[in-house]
Structure 1
Amino acid sequence: MNLLHKSLQDGASPERGDRVPRPSEARAVGRDPNAWSLSAGDGRFEIRLTRDPKDIEASQALRYHVFYEEMDARPDAEMARLRRDADAFDAICDHLLVLDHKRPEGDRVVGTYRLLRRAVAESHAGFYSASEYDIAPLLDAVPASEGGLMELGRSCVLAEYRTNATIQMLWRGLSYYVFDHGIRLMFGCASMPGRDPARLAVPLSYLYHHHLAPPELRAVALPHLYTRMDLIPAEEVVPRRALHELPPLVKAYLRLGCYIGDGAVVDQQFGTTDVCIILPIERVAPKYYAHFDREELDARSADDAGSADKA
């Protein structure tokens, strides 16, 4: 499991700064000036940006179900007792949720993302990904004065909702957030199932040979965690096979133009092998509008709906 920063105090509240624009059709939620909610379709589904404790608890319950019950993560005693996937970062992050209002009260959150902006991270104890990767190149690429750096994490969707429609709702909300906050670069740890990198030699080698970040953006796994990704020579990697073996969410990031950092990291607690996703907005901005804001869904991309990403 990634190290938790001990100096991060429960209940800490980051500086919120100025109120940001909401989607024009969204409504305010509670007293948080930055929180908003947007109904989708016939009103059954809702996209919500929140830091409300009750919403966070619902997100944590979903994450526990997917990561610890469906997948191979190992909870500690307190997590198992509460049936929550929780850490100290939850208190300072913004949380993007998809809710299905046809489900029972208290069980309506079916998808979630966790968002951590640079100004918030640096006011507390830094980024979650820094416990696995040296992210100095990313910090240098976007001047702190401009603030436009954001970490993505804890992406998770309930099994029966892993459809293009649900993922599009999550990413539509994400696109609002990205542009409202002037984000220029997103990053995070994306996960592949399994603790044995040798079994992931094909997809890891493909990512290294075809999507390695340029030196100026190349986050590198910390030395004590570093696992080589170039396990197979480039000429022996069959891209079609590699793409078939990649998790849907990683493939979706690749289609948006992401780079991959150098080195994989095995997370024993979560039962995953992680890679660093690096997504400059200048590479994807036109696709954001086309992919997230269109009204008609492209059925051909339904098989690309992501399931979970624990970063």
Structure 2
Amino acid sequence: MSTPPDPETVVSGLSPVGIAGRTLGRIGSLEARLACSEAEIEAAQEVRYRVFYEELGAKASRLQAAERRDADRFDAVCDHILVFDHSLAAPEHERIVGTYRVLTQEGAALCGGFYSEDEFDLAGLIERNPGKRFLELGRSCVLPQYRSKRTIEALWQAIWAYVLHHKIDVMAGCASFHGTVPAAHSEALSFLAQSFRTEPEFQVSALPERYRSMDLVPPEAINAKAAFARMPPLIKGYLRLGARIGDGCVIDHDFETVDVFVVLAVSDIRQRYISYYTADEGAYVA
């Protein structure tokens, strides 16, 4: 892994001064940028709590329930991409309507690995690609009333600016189906396993003790259009960009989800999306 950064260059998470606090995406009243303070990170954790625990039923610890925040040890070394709605008559930190958490290899080195390594074996992935820079995406959530194309585009403008700034080669991370029964998503999971597997250089498997097969339905029984329609919006979005899926899924009983591992090489992103997200590149990236 890369050498950890000089602490004096850190403003929020591991971002250097050149990108922290700058607008990384904007659509109408929505602005996407990195969290610049502990208060903004805590506000993002509150948004995550509202979505993951209050709406989707994740199991909160006693501390999380008391503070009403989704927080863990990775937050301190991650960068937090936030979407603000500036049309809201509220303090800045109360205008946060969506968030994404991103973890560089430097950050992972500081806290003993990537968040996803609790479920998937990433050691081989990193070892097979020593010249590539990896970025883990996670904790994606948007408040219900903002689940629209505009909000997602603002988030992805910011992610793309971040990727360009940090010279990232590969984005990766877990994405989830709701519930803890893989068979409930058998057609969609099988379609992913049969049609969207990673190339050998990016092969990732679920940890043996947590591995559950995704290949549950024979190919001739799958309706591709129906299978795709039943996938969560986040997974569909990754696939449209050109993402591939690792081997095996994992049940996360705390979050009440079935997790798959997504790998998106920057070189595989479809050109029409690159053209779209780099249209205003000069405004957001130094």
Provide the TM-score with structure 2 as the length reference.
Answer: 0.88
Per the alignment, residue 144 of structure 2 pairs with 159
Question: What is the identity, as a one-letter code, of the residue corresponding to 1:273?
Answer: V
SS at 1:212's partner residue?
coil
Q: 1:99 aligns with which of 77, 81, 84?
A: 84
Supply the RMSD in Å over aligned alpha carbons.
2.1
5+ residue gaps, structure 2, are 11-15, 281-286
From the superposition, tell whether residues 285 and 231 of structure 1 become closer, same or farther in structure 2 (CA, over 3 Å). closer
Per the alignment, residue 107 of structure 2 pairs with 120
1:292 Cα shift? 2.3
- In 2: Cα distance, 1:41 partner to 1:262 partner: 36
- In 2: Cα distance, 1:88 partner to 1:175 partner: 25
Structural mapping, 1:105-144, within 5 Å: 105=91, 106-143=93-130
- In 1: Cα distance, 2:187 partner to 2:132 partner: 36
Per the alignment, residue 246 of structure 2 pairs with 261
**1:280 aligned onto 2:270:** no
Following TM superposition, the consecutive aligned residue runs of length 4 or more in structure 1 with deviations greater than 6 angstroms are 17-20
SS at 2:251's partner residue?
strand
Post-superposition CA distance 1:106-135 (Å, at most 9, x none): 421101111101122113311001110001
Q: Give the % identical residues.
A: 42
SS at 2:74's partner residue?
helix
SS at 2:211's partner residue?
coil
The answer to whether the 8 A contact 2:9-2:17 is kept is no
SS at 2:98's partner residue?
strand
Post-superposition CA distance 1:191-238 (Å, at most 9, x none): 110111111111110000000112221110001110000001122111
SS at 1:37's partner residue?
coil
- In 2: Cα distance, 1:285 partner to 1:93 partner: 27
5+ residue gaps, structure 1, are 1-13, 21-30, 296-311
The answer to whether the 8 A contact 1:142-1:185 is kept is no
1:41 Cα shift? 4.5
- In 2: Cα distance, 1:261 partner to 1:135 partner: 10
Per the alignment, residue 58 of structure 2 pairs with 73
The answer to whether the 8 A contact 2:132-2:170 is kept is no
Per the alignment, residue 173 of structure 1 pairs with 158
From the superposition, tell whether residues 160 and 228 of structure 1 become closer, same or farther in structure 2 (CA, over 3 Å). same
SS at 1:253's partner residue?
helix
Tell me the number of residue pairs that the alignment of Structure 1 and Structure 2 aligns.
269
The answer to whether the 8 A contact 2:27-2:154 is kept is no
